[in-house]
């Protein structure tokens, strides 16, 4: 169901069949937790760390390798490729607007961006560092990082905690507002085409927005079973159920195949789709979702309208400067 | 020998034991070939292509993966890691100031930056594309590239030739002037320390600058045998002779173990050293070079002075904006 933000909105819903007031634009800034207020210095340091392949065992994989800030915030691959060409079972979620996820990872196992940032670095098939102690030790050999951490956190402050805080602070700036959808909702009625508006109405009337709600269309904090309705054709083709989702973390049968509801923002840029990246096109993703989640067969025209609307969720990407990473004289990776 | 640029310089050499006039500062811009004049539009397109991992078969490796423009222009690895975690036998040369190399690659097999740019893309262990036809076909599916090529080269201009021209145009902007050395040579006598000046004198008196001459210390256009003097300790430890260098291209015995003289600029940032990246520290690289090329045993103090000087060749890296790569709706890499 839509989040009904206030009595005023609730009354508006009652008094009119228009539910336009339920559509929310994307905020242009993200709130920060009390223990990690965003500062320019942290953002600058976080940007460096985020793009630094020296946070991986081989010196070849940075956060940006799989969550590419020059593209749609991921890698357009079914599964990302970590150190030594290894691949896992899940598709990299986009980093753009991740600040608006209530929880992180497909299974929501990280409560914050800070906690998420710590994970891939020591995952053996992702960035492959043996431990965060090793990461910290390596960073301490890089004089420029001593300086950048000091500027952001004070003297002798290189630590896992501060590194992940800086990365999270940077990620909170990765927001893509002013999509055609946002401009439409803000009052520019020419920002969406007639077909997109038709798709927007269908997304609501069909029930997509029951889960994909809120400004980032990610039902903030919501988990949902996927697939709800089993389908032998999709089962054979896409193997969605090979991954138990939340139950892989909680080991509870009732959590099997539950996943965090992912954002729909910039979805046109983030093929392939679903937790395992099994579906290559947005048309097919929409068709699959309607069938597995809503038990509905969409016509080609309905799919086309919805895809047109989803294309209207591509936001404006901020211009960024490229970080200049501090060098280590004599550093080498074997 | 030093390049003697003019009769005036030659006379200055004769009239004084000071040879300061032979030291050249790095130009702040690089000349472009007649068939590829540098334009802002080409540079912008080239920057996009250079950083785009979709120029590799897996969608994970861009030019910047091994020649990192956020660092010293390479990857601090003995051998780079290409698609699917594969590694080759040579160490990635820095892209910074590559515009001042007369030839490209360790064996000089590419006469221009344009020719160089074409190579790694279809190398099976680097970027792994089957052919440039495949690259061009992929680029043509990306609407934003149609636009960017049109802006740089005119309508329907996506081609191997134009892609490599754009990359080369971008690379010609990757120049790091104003190192302490350059500032010293330009007249700021406080730019180098006494130890660095002592190292500078040794680099000349020992004979290093016989090959490492010119503004980029790369004896522009020069090839040299490496190692000249065989040394059983280094042979066992570093295996320099496993690679036949120029002879791998020409198949001529007289070219065996000849390599392009690499630049010394930013060398403090580009460990490990030599064509095979076998030597981890600059101290050891200097020691090895003196022994194998000049048949000289350096004292620790001599090595320290030279390394201090080489640290003075680290230039100023230009601030760059991060490219926003054009997306392909529905693109995916398997």
Q: Convert the pLDDT of each residue in A99-138 to its tens digit.
A: 999 999 999 999 999 999 999 999 999 999 999 999 999 9
Identical fold, A7-27+181-311 and A40-171: yes
pLDDT band at B310 (very low <50, low <70, confident <90, very high): very high
- State the average pLDDT over residues B109-122: 97
More confident residue, A221 or B311: B311
SS3 content of chain A, % helix, strand, coil (to 5): 45, 5, 50
The span from the CA of B82 to the CA of A271, in Å, is 23
pLDDT band at B9 (very low <50, low <70, confident <90, very high): very low
The span from the CA of A243 to the CA of B3, in Å, is 66
pLDDT band at B328 (very low <50, low <70, confident <90, very high): confident
pLDDT tens, residue by residue, A222-248: 999 999 999 999 999 999 999 999 999
| B280 CB within 8 Å of a chain A CB | yes
| Exposure on the CB side of residue A54, measured as CA atoms within 13 A | 27
**ipTM of the complex model:** 0.91
Q: Which residues contact A118 (CB under 8 A, 6 or more apart)?
A: A132, A160, A164
- Quote the CATH superfamily of domain B7-28+181-311: Cytochrome c-like domain (1.10.760.10)
Q: How many CB atoms lie within 10 A of CB B126?
A: 24
Domain assignments of chain B as residue spans, ordered by start: 7-28+181-311, 40-171
Is the separation of the CB atoms in B26 and B264 below 8 Å? no
Residue B217: name the closest of B253, B263, B280, B270 by CA: B263
| B328 CB within 8 Å of a chain A CB | yes
Q: Which residues contact B15 (CB under 8 A, 6 or more apart)?
A: none
Q: Which residues contact A164 (CB under 8 A, 6 or more apart)?
A: A114, A115, A117, A118
pLDDT tens, residue by residue, B128-139: 999 999 999 999
pLDDT band at B4 (very low <50, low <70, confident <90, very high): very low
Is B76's CB within 8 Å of A329's CB?
no
Is A76's CB within 8 Å of B324's CB?
no
**Residues of A in Cβ contact (< 8 Å) with B81:** 58, 60, 84-85
- Residue A35, phi then psi, degrees to nearest 5: -90, 5
Q: How many CB atoms lie within 10 A of CB A200?
A: 24
Comparing CB atoms, the residue among B281, B314, B330 nearest residue A330 is B281
**How many contacts (CB atoms, under 8 Å) link A and B?**
129
Is A84's CB within 8 Å of B83's CB?
no
pLDDT band at A259 (very low <50, low <70, confident <90, very high): very high
- Distance separating the N- and C-terminal Cα atoms of chain B: 53
Decide if pLDDT at A20 tops 80. no
CATH architecture of B40-171: Orthogonal Bundle (1.10)
Q: Which residues pair with B260 in a beta bridge?
A: B223
Is the separation of the CB atoms in B45 and B152 below 8 Å? yes
> How far is the alpha carbon of A124 from chain B, nearest alpha carbon, in Å?
14
Decide if pLDDT at A19 tops 70. no
- State the average pLDDT over residues A292-316: 97
The span from the CA of B113 to the CA of B115, in Å, is 5
- State the average pLDDT over residues A20-32: 89
Share of chain A above pLDDT 70, in %: 92
pLDDT tens, residue by residue, B14-39: 333 444 458 999 999 999 999 999 99
- State the average pLDDT over residues B276-291: 97
> How far is the alpha carbon of A50 from chain B, nearest alpha carbon, in Å?
12
Is B325's CB within 8 Å of A65's CB?
no
Q: Which residues pair with B87 in a beta bridge?
A: B81
The span from the CA of B257 to the CA of B242, in Å, is 9
pLDDT tens, residue by residue, B41-82: 999 999 999 999 999 999 999 999 999 999 999 999 999 999
Tokens of A52: 């630094």
Q: What is the pLDDT of residue A221?
A: 87
- Quote the CATH superfamily of domain A7-27+181-311: Cytochrome c-like domain (1.10.760.10)
Is the separation of the CB atoms in B177 and B183 below 8 Å? no
> How far is the alpha carbon of A53 from chain B, nearest alpha carbon, in Å?
9
Is the separation of the CB atoms in B209 and B217 below 8 Å? yes
| B325 CB within 8 Å of a chain A CB | yes
What amino acid positions of A are annotated as catalytic residues? 126
Residue in chain A lying closest to B320 (CA): A322
Q: What is the pLDDT of residue B10?
A: 36
């Amino acid at each position: 169901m839509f989040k009904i933000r206030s009595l005023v909105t609730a009354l508006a819903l009652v008094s009119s069949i228009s539910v336009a007031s339920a559509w929310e634009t994307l905020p242009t800034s993200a709130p920060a937790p009390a223990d990690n207020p965003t500062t320019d210095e942290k953002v600058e340091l976080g940007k460096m760390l985020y793009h630094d392949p020296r946070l991986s065992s081989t010196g070849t994989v940075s956060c940006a390798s799989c969550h590419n800030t020059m593209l749609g915030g991921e890698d357009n691959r079914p599964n990302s490729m970590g150190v030594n060409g290894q691949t896992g079972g899940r598709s990299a979620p986009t980093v753009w607007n991740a600040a608006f996820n209530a929880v992180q990872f497909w299974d929501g196992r990280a409560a914050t961006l800070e906690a998420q940032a710590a994970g891939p670095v020591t995952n053996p098939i992702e960035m492959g560092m043996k431990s965060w102690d090793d990461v910290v030790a390596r960073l301490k050999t890089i004089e420029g990082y001593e300086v950048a951490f000091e500027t952001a956190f004070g003297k002798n402050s290189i630590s896992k905690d501060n590194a992940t805080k800086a990365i999270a602070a940077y990620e909170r700036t990765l927001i893509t507002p002013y999509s055609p959808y946002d401009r439409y909702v803000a009052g520019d009625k020419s920002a969406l085409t007639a077909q997109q508006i038709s798709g927007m109405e269908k997304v609501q009337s069909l029930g997509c927005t029951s889960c994909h709600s809120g400004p980032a269309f990610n039902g903030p904090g919501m988990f949902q079973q996927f697939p709800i309705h089993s389908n032998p054709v999709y089962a054979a083709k896409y193997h969605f159920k090979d991954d138990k989702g939340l139950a892989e973390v909680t080991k509870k049968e009732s959590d099997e195949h539950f996943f965090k509801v992912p954002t729909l923002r910039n979805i046109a840029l983030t093929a392939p789709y679903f937790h395992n990246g099994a579906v290559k096109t947005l048309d097919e993703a929409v068709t699959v979702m309607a069938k597995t989640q809503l038990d509905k067969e969409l016509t080609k025209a309905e799919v086309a309208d919805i895809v047109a609307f989803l294309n209207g969720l591509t936001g404006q990407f901020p211009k960024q400067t490229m970080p200049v990473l501090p060098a280590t004289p004599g550093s080498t990776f074997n």
